[in-house]
Amino acid sequence: MQSLRILRQNRSYILLAAALFMIGWVLGAVFQEALMELVATSLQHLQDIVEKTQAKNSPLYTSGVIFLNNLMASFAMMLYGIPFAFLTVFALFLNGLTVGVVFQMAGEHGSLWEMVLYGLLPHGIFELPAIFIAAAFGIKLGLIWFRPLPEMTRMQSFKHVFREVFSISWVIVLLLVVAGLVEGLVTPVLLETFVLK
């Protein structure tokens, strides 16, 4: 399948995106207090989503809101990369910082490992790969202006990578649909049962 072949060919970009996110996560967890001001806007955005979904008290509505939020974030991350990849790298790193800060804060009120196991892992195994794939192609779209693909001009390289983006977009959407459903329907039950008991 063409999409899976493209993903395999770009695994170094995907691993780079994952590494940037994880570095942000670790730094966010270690330097939580010092980074609060930097991630304040992201934390407020998360709080707004929580309040919006709690007001409706509908797991399916929650899933839809989460899916749309993640979809917009993922495709924005790809487009951010077009001007030299910097914005994609920054957005990915900031997301990692925010997750690190949030989980460190949550860990102060309970077991950090339980929060990761029940609050992140069930939907994260779908959501994080989608974000890493989107960011990977954002980074690639930016880097080709500095280093075009072999035997291609910068514009030919850009068009080639953009075609790759279209070919793998369905993978990102599918992963985010599943992630949204799990986060809206399953994660709250797991948290209620094992963490907030």
- pLDDT (tens digit, 9 = 90+) per residue, 165-189? 999 999 999 999 999 999 999 999 9
Q: For 138-174, b where at least 16 C-beta lie within 10 A, e where not — what string?
A: bbbbbbbbeebeeeeeeeebbeebeebbebbbebbbe
Residue 173 domain flag: yes
Q: If pLDDT is split at 50, 70 and 90, which confidence band does 125 have?
A: very high
Q: Does residue 196 lie in a domain region?
A: no
Let me know if residue 55 belongs to a domain.
Answer: yes
Mean pLDDT, range 71-96, rounded to an integer: 93
The total number of structural domains in the chain stands at 1
> How sure is the predictor about 83, in pLDDT bands with cuts at 50, 70 and 90?
confident
Give the residue from 26, 163, 193, 13 showing the smallest Cα distance to 88.
13
Look at residue 195 and tell me if it is in a domain. Answer: no
How does the average pLDDT of the chain come out, rounded?
93
| pLDDT at residue 111 is higher than 80 | no
Rounded mean pLDDT of 139-157? 95
Q: For helices 86-107 and 40-56, what crossing angle results, to 10°?
A: 70
135 in a structural domain: yes
**Residue 176 pLDDT:** 98
Collapsing DSSP to helix, strand or coil, 88 comes out as helix
Which of helix, strand or coil describes residue 196? coil
Taking CA 131 as the corner, what is the angle to CA 127 and CA 134, rounded to the nearest 5 degrees? 140
Which residue is associated with the tokens 């949550």? 106
Token digits of residue 9: 């060919």
Q: Which two tokens stand for residue 180?
A: 């949204």
How many angstroms separate the CA atoms of 55 and 77, rounded?
Answer: 29
Answer for the pair 57, 130: CB distance below 8 angstroms, yes or no: no
Give the domain extent around 102. 2-189
Q: How confident is the model at residue 61 (pLDDT cuts 50, 70, 90)?
A: very high
Whether 28 maps to a domain, the answer reads: yes
Please check the confidence at residue 104 and state whether its pLDDT lies above 90. Answer: no
**Core vs surface per residue 43-63: b (16+ CB within 10 A) or e:** eeeeeeeeeebeeeeebeebb
* pLDDT tens digits, 40-50: 999 999 999 99
